[in-house]
């Protein structure tokens, strides 16, 4: 193949990649102009511009309550899922006990089992345990969904970790906990961090299960948005969506930059 | 945590890092993995302050033995004593042992100083004292100026020096080394060997050193334990092992040997081997009469006597034979080595016998020449032939 045709093929590939990227991202980006529309409609493209829907969002206590609830649940899920997911990943990579594969399958099951099925089961259980509409209930439910997203990256990090370093720490006089805290954990931190981030996003984004276990007194942001789109249909929901988009983008970028910088320092 | 802190009081004093070496005693120490036996009931003692090397090919059990001393591998049976105290139930972090690993095993997220300070941190040594000891340890290995660097910014040799500093900074009474120079190139290995030997002299710690490199073992060790197939073949000084090997494996693993295979004999005049239609005499015998055995001589102990072709034909072969141990052969190959010359001489049964002549004392024989090979009985030993011995007379080494 000569040089010119190579260049043609490369340009075609670039165009194709750009199209795929656009296809993936564009629907999300549409909410940004929508949220800045001056009319109470979803007409796209907007005919005029205003920030009234953002004022609406921040002036309405029900929106703010939903945002607060989502942040609170999300952060608690981060703590619960990251700690238990990391512990599970350590157990799965380090010890060869009976039923290890079965445990792994169970831990990863929430990724595969349809959420609606889990949601119905959870609704029945929570109804009996009176956990519907409680922060605790939300945290438990979301943690189940978030767990696989912690287990997978932490397991990958642990598999790439040089276990001889743990022997070195032990011979230096570090007990198992000190070894884990001072040697293992700092070196698998990128995996743990991305697990934590995924856990937060999973919870912050969750709508199906949340619709079942919500109550009028405790709604997360996606639940409130779903209610809003069926009732009010004004662009406040677009403003809310834009805020979520901004928040998750910033979080992801910060984590990516942090990990990249760490790897460069090494 | 009950970690012994044997740190001396004044860190700035001369010899702040020195320690009295502990004794290590292994009695019938055994490690089995399922049905496979990695270490088979070995008995071994490292004396206080000694440099003991575990030498052997890979898979001979030397590293498993070291890992049992360190506590990384559980003991299947037998006893493991440090200073006469059983330690096999103690986890590694309570044994107060220092260790240097083949692949350095430095913590990549800590600076060089933090790496060296790590064992002191575990022992809750106060910060000021910690600083002084770290500086002292880094100075001992010649890296005082690199404390702020990250390990991965250093060369392999420097990283291993850091690992050495980390292993000795808390003055452990036992220091284990698992092929610490295995990943380095030859020149660096040689200079680090001398450094390790110097540090051993300064510290007074008991060193147990694992290697498969016989030269390294000869340079460093007070005593060497030769491992083969999960057992110890022989323990002794380098001279003991080289001059007086008690098994064929040791004779072939350590240095070069020339072998004459045959059947052991026991006469009034001592041990011998019936080989090549004659009885070759040896000063030492470790084989029972009638058993298959080999007579072992170091190549530099064999003398070469050229046979004048015409004279030999006239006089008849055997009449020209020198007295004592003499074997006739033909030079097949000559290898020039500068300070010496190696000859491969083929004898009657087809065996190639290796001879080494020093440059100052050459016989002048060339490939194709007929020669007599002679050696003194006191330079030879009769050793039992191992069932799986190979027929090549020498191990290529150096």
Instruction: Give tens-digit pLDDT for B331-388.
Output: 998 888 888 889 999 888 888 889 998 887 777 788 888 888 889 988 888 888 865 4
The verdict on a CB contact (< 8 Å) between B72 and A168 is no
Q: What is the sign, positive or negative, of the torsion defined by CA atoms of B182, B187, B192, B198?
A: positive
The B-side interface with A (CB below 8 A) comprises 1, 3, 70-72, 91-99, 101, 103, 105-109, 118-119, 122-123, 150, 152, 166-167, 170, 176
Give which of B279, B95, B60 is closest to B173, Cα–Cα.
B95
Chain A residues with CB under 8 Å of B123 CB are: 173
Domain B24-240 indexed as CATH 3.40.50.300:
yes
Longest dimension (CA), chain B: 89
Give which of B260, B259, B222 is closest to B241, Cα–Cα.
B222
Taking the CA atoms of chain A, what radius of gyration do you get in angstroms? 23
**Is the CB of residue A99 less than 8 Å away from at least one CB of chain B?**
no
Question: What pLDDT band is residue B12 in, cutting at 50, 70 and 90?
Answer: very low
**Is the CB of residue A169 less than 8 Å away from at least one CB of chain B?**
yes
pLDDT tens digits, A197-252: 999 989 988 989 999 988 888 889 888 888 888 887 778 888 888 988 888 888 88
Low-confidence winner among A155-169, A204-218, B258-272, B372-386 (lowest mean pLDDT): B258-272
Token pair for A174:
């570090």
* Rounded-to-integer distance, Cα B246 and Cα B235, Å: 10
* Rounded-to-integer distance, Cα B388 and Cα B37, Å: 19
Taking the CA atoms of chain B, what radius of gyration do you get in angstroms? 26
State yes or no: pLDDT of B42 exceeds 90.
yes
The verdict on a CB contact (< 8 Å) between A172 and B108 is no
The residue ranges of every structural domain in chain A are 54-265
Tell the residue number behind the tokens 């698992």, with chain if given.
B178
**Is the CB of residue A168 less than 8 Å away from at least one CB of chain B?**
yes
**Is the CB of residue A264 less than 8 Å away from at least one CB of chain B?**
no
Chain B residues with CB under 8 Å of A192 CB are: none
Question: What pLDDT band is residue B177 in, cutting at 50, 70 and 90?
Answer: very high
Token pair for B222:
């007070």
Domain B251-384 indexed as CATH 2.40.50.140:
yes
Residues A57 and A50: beta-carbon distance below 8 Å: no
* Rounded-to-integer distance, Cα B257 and Cα B301, Å: 10
Backbone φ and ψ for B45, nearest 5 degrees, come out as -135, 130
Question: What pLDDT band is residue B268 in, cutting at 50, 70 and 90?
Answer: low
Residues A239 and A50: beta-carbon distance below 8 Å: no
Low-confidence winner among A38-42, A239-243, B6-10, B296-300 (lowest mean pLDDT): B6-10
Parallel, antiparallel or unpaired: strands B223-228 and B325-336: unpaired
* Rounded-to-integer distance, Cα A76 and Cα A74, Å: 6
The residue ranges of every structural domain in chain B are 24-240, 251-384
* DSSP one-letter code for A111: G
**Is the CB of residue A185 less than 8 Å away from at least one CB of chain B?**
no
Q: What is the pLDDT of residue B390?
A: 40
Give which of B356, B376, B369 is closest to B306, Cα–Cα.
B369
Task: Select the residue of B70, B93, B152 nearest A173 (Cβ to Cβ).
Answer: B93
Minimum Cα–Cα distance from B124: chain A residue: A173
DSSP B244-292: S-SSHHHHHHSS--EEEEEEEEEETTEEEEEETTEEEE-SEE-S-TTSE
Instruction: Select, from the ranges A75-84, A248-257, B197-206, the one with the highest average predicted confidence (pLDDT).
Output: A75-84
Q: How many CA atoms lie within 13 A of A201 on its CB side?
A: 18
State yes or no: pLDDT of A94 exceeds 60.
yes
The verdict on a CB contact (< 8 Å) between A172 and B166 is yes
CATH of A54-265, one of 3.40.190.10, 1.10.3720.10, 3.40.309.10, 3.40.50.620: 1.10.3720.10
**How close does chain B come to A164, measured CA to CA in Å?**
6
Token pair for A175:
């007990």
CA A214 to chain centre: 19
Chain B residues with CB under 8 Å of A170 CB are: 71-72, 91-93
Q: What is the pTM of this model?
A: 0.78
Tell the residue number behind the tokens 């027929």, with chain if given.
B391
* Rounded-to-integer distance, Cα B221 and Cα B223, Å: 5
* Rounded-to-integer distance, Cα A131 and Cα A133, Å: 6
Task: Select the residue of A162, A172, A265 nearest B119 (Cβ to Cβ).
Answer: A172
Q: What is the pLDDT of residue A216?
A: 82
Q: What is the pLDDT of residue B395?
A: 37
Give, to the nearest 10 degrees, the angle between helix A61-94 and helix A100-108.
160
- The set of residues, in sequence order, having a beta carbon less than 8 Å from that of B297 and lying 6+ positions away, is B257, B258, B260, B375, B379, B380
The verdict on a CB contact (< 8 Å) between B106 and A168 is yes
Optimal mutation site among A157, A169, A171, A179, interface B, most CBs of chain B within 10 A:
A171
Chain B residues with CB under 8 Å of A179 CB are: 93
Q: What is the pLDDT of residue B69?
A: 94
* Intrachain domains B24-240 and B251-384 with the same fold: no
- The set of residues, in sequence order, having a beta carbon less than 8 Å from that of B272 and lying 6+ positions away, is B264, B265, B266, B279, B280, B281, B282, B285, B295, B382
* Rounded-to-integer distance, Cα B22 and Cα A121, Å: 64
Q: How many CA atoms lie within 13 A of A42 on its CB side?
A: 9
Parallel, antiparallel or unpaired: strands B380-384 and B340-347: unpaired
Chain B residues with CB under 8 Å of A266 CB are: 108-109, 150, 152
Token pair for A32:
């940004």
The verdict on a CB contact (< 8 Å) between A174 and B122 is yes
State yes or no: pLDDT of A3 exceeds 60.
yes
Which residues make beta-bridge pairs with B36?
Answer: B33
Chain A residues with CB under 8 Å of B1 CB are: 175
* Rounded-to-integer distance, Cα B94 and Cα B125, Å: 16
Token pair for A145:
């969904």
Question: What pLDDT band is residue B63 in, cutting at 50, 70 and 90?
Answer: very high
State yes or no: pLDDT of B226 exceeds 90.
yes
* Rounded-to-integer distance, Cα B208 and Cα B39, Å: 17
Give which of B279, B322, B278 is closest to B303, Cα–Cα.
B322
């Amino acid at each position: 193949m000569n040089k010119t045709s190579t260049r043609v093929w490369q340009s075609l590939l670039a165009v194709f990649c750009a199209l795929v990227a656009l296809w993936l991202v564009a629907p999300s980006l549409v909410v940004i102009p929508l949220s800045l529309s001056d009319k109470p409609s979803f007409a796209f493209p907007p005919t005029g511009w205003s920030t009234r829907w953002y004022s609406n969002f921040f002036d309405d206590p029900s929106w703010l309550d939903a945002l607060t609830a989502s942040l609170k649940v999300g952060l608690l899920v981060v703590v619960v899922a990251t700690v238990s997911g990391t512990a599970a990943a350590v157990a799965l990579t380090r010890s060869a006990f009976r039923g290890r594969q079965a445990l792994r399958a169970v831990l990863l099951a929430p990724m595969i089992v349809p959420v609606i099925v889990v949601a119905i089961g959870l609704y029945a259980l929570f109804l009996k345990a009176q956990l519907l509409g409680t922060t605790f209930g939300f945290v438990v439910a979301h943690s189940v969904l978030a767990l696989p997203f912690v287990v997978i990256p932490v397991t990958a990090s642990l598999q790439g970790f040089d276990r001889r370093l743990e022997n070195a720490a032990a011979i230096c006089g570090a007990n198992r906990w000190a070894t884990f805290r001072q040697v293992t954990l700092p070196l698998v931190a990128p995996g743990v961090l991305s697990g934590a981030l995924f856990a937060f996003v999973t919870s912050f984004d969750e709508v199906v299960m949340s619709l079942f276990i919500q109550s009028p007194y405790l709604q997360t942001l996606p639940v409130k948005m779903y209610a809003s789109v069926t009732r009010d249909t004004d662009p406040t929901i677009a403003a809310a969506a834009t805020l979520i988009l901004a928040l998750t983008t910033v979080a992801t970028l910060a984590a990516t930059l942090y990990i990249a910088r760490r790897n460069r320092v090494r | 945590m009950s970690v012994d802190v044997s740190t001396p009081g004044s860190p700035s004093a001369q010899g702040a890092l020195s320690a009295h070496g502990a004794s290590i005693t292994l009695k019938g120490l055994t490690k089995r993995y399922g049905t496979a036996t990695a270490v088979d009931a070995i008995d071994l003692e490292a004396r206080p302050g000694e440099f003991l090397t575990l030498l052997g090919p890979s898979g001979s059990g030397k590293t498993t033995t070291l890992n049992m001393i360190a506590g990384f591998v559980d003991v299947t049976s037998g006893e493991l004593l440090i200073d006469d105290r059983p330690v096999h139930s103690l986890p590694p972090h309570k044994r107060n042992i220092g260790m240097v690993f083949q692949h350095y095993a430095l913590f990549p997220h800590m600076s060089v100083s933090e790496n060296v300070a790590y064992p002191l941190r575990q022992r809750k040594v106060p910060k000021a004292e910690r600083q002084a000891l770290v500086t002292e340890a880094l100075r001992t290995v010649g890296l005082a100026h690199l404390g702020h660097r990250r390990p991965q910014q250093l060369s392999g040799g420097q990283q291993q020096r850091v690992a050495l500093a980390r292993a000795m900074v808390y003055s452990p009474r036992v220091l284990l080394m698992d092929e610490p120079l295995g990943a380095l190139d030859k020149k660096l290995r040689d200079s680090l060997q001398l450094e390790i030997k110097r540090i051993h002299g300064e510290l007074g710690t008991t060193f147990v050193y694992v290697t498969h490199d016989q030269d390294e073992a000869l340079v460093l060790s007070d005593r060497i334990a030769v491992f083969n197939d999960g057992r110890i073949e022989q323990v002794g000084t380098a001279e003991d092992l080289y001059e007086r090997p008690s098994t064929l494996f040791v004779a072939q693993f350590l240095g070069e040997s020339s072998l004459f295979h045959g059947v052991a004999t026991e006469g009034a005049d001592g041990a011998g081997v019936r080989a090549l239609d004659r009885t070759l005499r040896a000063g030492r015998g470790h084989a029972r009469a009638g058993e298959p055995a080999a007579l072992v001589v170091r190549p530099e102990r064999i003398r070469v006597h050229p046979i004048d072709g015409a004279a030999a034909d006239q006089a008849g072969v055997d009449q020209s034979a020198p007295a004592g141990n003499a074997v006739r052969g033909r030079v097949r190959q000559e290898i020039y080595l500068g300070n010496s010359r190696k000859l491969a001489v083929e004898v009657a049964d087809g065996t190639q016998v290796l001879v080494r002549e020093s440059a100052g004392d050459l016989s002048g024989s060339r490939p194709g020449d007929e020669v007599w090979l002679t050696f003194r009985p006191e330079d030879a030993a009769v050793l039992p032939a191992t069932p799986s011995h190979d027929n090549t007379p020498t191990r290529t080494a150096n």
